[in-house]
Amino acid sequence: MEISINAANAVRQKTKTLKITQEDYDAIRDAIAPVLKAHPDAYAEYQKHGLSDMRYNWDVFRKSGYMKDNMSRLYKYINDTHINAALANILGNSGKAAK
């Protein structure tokens, strides 16, 4: 069953509704947590080198290993834009590509 979650707790996405199930959102959040813990300064390094929030989000997501077994299932009901919005919400950044 597909549900929308309210992203009211996100700093930059206060009125955004995400098109991802709560179960998938939680699973992605849990999968990337160890990556963030292992690389606490990564976001600052990405900013220092002029890399975008979107690049950071997807690199963290890839590093988590979640993509390996779950992308075909996710793509049955959402696309990269929806996944990026969820990643931006979880990681607390804009999720925007470089200008």
pTM higher than the cut 0.75: yes
| CA end-to-end span of the chain | 36
The residue with tokens 């990026």 is 84
Is residue 57 pLDDT above 80, yes or no?
yes
Instruction: Report, as an integer, the average pLDDT of 47-68.
Output: 95
Reported as a single tens digit per residue, the pLDDT across 17-50 is 889 999 999 999 999 999 999 999 999 999 999 9
CA–CA separation, 63 and 41 (whole Å): 15
- The predicted pLDDT at position 15 comes to 46
**Which residues fall within 8 angstroms of residue 31, CB to CB, at 6 or more apart?**
64, 65, 66
d(CA 35, CA 52) in angstroms, rounded, equals 18
pLDDT tens per residue, range 74-97:
999 999 999 999 999 999 887 676
Whether residue 16 contacts residue 7, with contact meaning beta carbons closer than 8 Å, is answered with: yes
pLDDT at 96: 76
